[in-house]
Structure 1
Amino acid sequence: MKFVVSNRFIIRTGCTALAVTGAGLAARADPLPVIAIHREVGLAAEGQFTNYKENFSVETAKGLHDRETGGTPGFEFKAEDMLDIGPIRHVYASVEFRYNNGTTRYNGAYQRSHDPLIATDGLETKDVRAELGKGFLIGDRLLITPVVQFAYHDWNRTLSDYSEDYRQLAVGAAVHGDFALTRRLVLSARLGWAETLDPKMTATGQSVTIDRHSYTLDPLHFPLGDRPVWQAGSSLDYRMTRHVHLYGGVDFQRFGYAQGKTRATIHGRSVHSTYTEPDSWTQTIVLTTGLAWSF
């Protein structure tokens, strides 16, 4: 028995194979640049400038204001993804960890004499932020992504044998905007707001006099008042290869603490201290440069 294969059959079969191959290549094609930058795991070096200033409400206490300024080195780790979940497209999730350690310049005063005190202060900060949201594509070059954010901040400063540790949670919202300048280069911006939750400061090495007895309070707890957190940032992401991206940016953040009352425990007895933690504001500027693996 002979089988005769016509030219029409060969052409039709070839076209079908090309169509299947093309569909497969399309499925594996690179995502849009504004999507690809949100499918990364990255590690970066960073430098942080900190400006901390206290603000007493009474005029006579101006000499006691603490101010802390300086730059410290650190690093950043980030992981983010943008994926489709069922009918919902471009679901965004990310987590970011930042660590900084170094010294800053302390400007303050002795609490009893009010004489000026200028010294070098140790600084260590740890920041964690997680975000969840949804991206909205406008054409192929612009992506707008509103998110909710959850953050944790820990700042420890040490002066001689005295140290203070500030901790806070924060919950808020933010919006990302990404614009593809080219197929390889994407410009991004971020604006955010959050509210601090249960901020507190713990001091060690502090001493007070109660009933004519001097006590060293280890630790002394300062519950602080809630205040807003304001954030703004901008970055560039450059695709060097299919998977390797070079990125860098600058982030600004301003947050504060409202004055709180002091409570300490001495030999099992809960007491109020005459010390209070005043109103304060902190501004940070962080410069980041690193490499990311795009998946």
Structure 2
Amino acid sequence: MKKITAVLLLSAISVSAFADVSDIKASNNQFGIQIRSTNVDYTETGNGQLNTATGTLDTETGRVSGYALSISAMQNLWLGNDYIFAEYARASGNTNYVGSLQGGVFGSVVSTSTAALVDFSTRYGKGFIVNSKLMLTPYVELGSHEWDRGVNQGETYNHDYYGIGALCQFSPIHKLVLSANAMIGSTFKSNIDVVGAFSGALGNSSLYKAGISADYAFAKGFHGNVGVDYMRFNYSISGTYPVGGGFVAWEPDSKTTYTIAKVGLGLAF
């Protein structure tokens, strides 16, 4: 019986040595660069204001490619296992536009449109060790988003946002860390600038983000990672603005979702 107990104890020690929270902490201390492919899914919806069309007005869908630069750290700075993360991302390309001429039927105009996305985000959280393989890190996040849309003479949408979320990290084997995160927040300072027409505020909305990823340490200071992120938010209708000739214009309600596939490398510290 003593021999069996000793064997079980040694086995437990061996397993923990090959999958413990130190791998998770190591994955949280690195500089990273990623290549990204972002699927854009945007829909504008009319509400019949001033006898204009209702329902779907136009859509933009398609993939744009880009990159992201990031830094993350988990150190004992204040609360213990303090988690800090910052990321800057850019993407550009062409999307498929479906719309209509003024007063026309949706679908009567089909073309392509340029799109450029710029995102910045930063997080602060605290990691809680659940067991030797699992860590849970609640966090707060602040960020900003900008979309340069190539329709008409050019339109730029932007907003800031804040949110709260949680990062769950699991290390099933030595050097491998699987992560899942989810965040709920709100946009603020939402705005649109339509070149040659008007610039004004848009209504804010809830914002949702979620993601899964895998990080593998090929060497002590060299990591590789893959993942998929999802983000969704709305813009509510703007005010009306005079555009000359007795006409007014406004930005209708819209819904935006992004699905981002990513692969990258990291330098651990």
Q: Secondary structure at the match of 1:240?
A: strand
- How many residue pairs were aligned? 247
Q: Secondary structure at the match of 2:248?
A: coil
Q: Which residue of 2 aligns with 1:245?
A: 223
1:153 matched to 2:159? The reply is no
Q: Which residue of 2 aligns with 1:258?
A: 236
2:150 maps to a residue whose letter is T
Task: Report deviation, 1:194.
Answer: 1.3
CA deviation profile, 1:137-196 (whole Å, cap 9, x unmatched) = 11221110111100100001113x511100100011111000001111110001011101
Structure 2 CA distance for partners of 1:147 and 1:273, relative to 1, 3 Å: farther
Retained in 2: the 8 A contact 1:44–1:77?
A: yes
Q: Secondary structure at the match of 1:36?
A: helix
How far apart in 2 are the matches of 1:104 and 1:287?
Answer: 17
1:53 matched to 2:43? The reply is yes
Q: Which residue of 1 aligns with 2:263?
A: 289
Q: Which residue of 2 aligns with 1:33?
A: 23
1:40 maps to a residue whose letter is Q
Task: Report deviation, 1:223.
Answer: 1.3
How far apart in 2 are the matches of 1:222 and 1:104?
Answer: 24
1:98 maps to a residue whose letter is A
The structure with the largest alpha-carbon Rg is 1
Q: Which residue of 1 aligns with 2:117?
A: 125
How far apart in 1 are the matches of 2:242 and 2:131?
Answer: 59
Q: Which residue of 1 aligns with 2:7?
A: none
State percent identity of aligned pairs.
Answer: 27
2:22 maps to a residue whose letter is L
Task: Report deviation, 1:114.
Answer: 4.5
Task: Report deviation, 1:31.
Answer: 7.1
How far apart in 2 are the matches of 1:108 and 1:62?
Answer: 13
1:234 matched to 2:212? The reply is yes
CA deviation profile, 1:52-86 (whole Å, cap 9, x unmatched) = 00111239614770100000111011101010025
How far apart in 2 are the matches of 1:155 and 1:264?
Answer: 24
1:170 matched to 2:148? The reply is no
* Structure 2 gap segments, 5+ residues each: 1-19
Structure 2 CA distance for partners of 1:110 and 1:242, relative to 1, 3 Å: same
* Structure 1 gap segments, 5+ residues each: 1-29, 205-217, 267-271
Q: TM-score, normalised by structure 1?
A: 0.79
Q: Which residue of 1 aligns with 2:16?
A: none
Residues 1-295 of structure 1 aligned to structure 2 (within 5 Å): 32-58=22-48, 61-62=53-54, 65-85=57-77, 88-114=79-105, 116-159=108-151, 162-204=153-195, 218-263=196-241, 274-295=248-269
Structural RMSD (CA)? 2.1
CA deviation profile, 1:67-123 (whole Å, cap 9, x unmatched) = 00000111011101010025x210011101111000000001111445711111000
2:109 maps to a residue whose letter is L
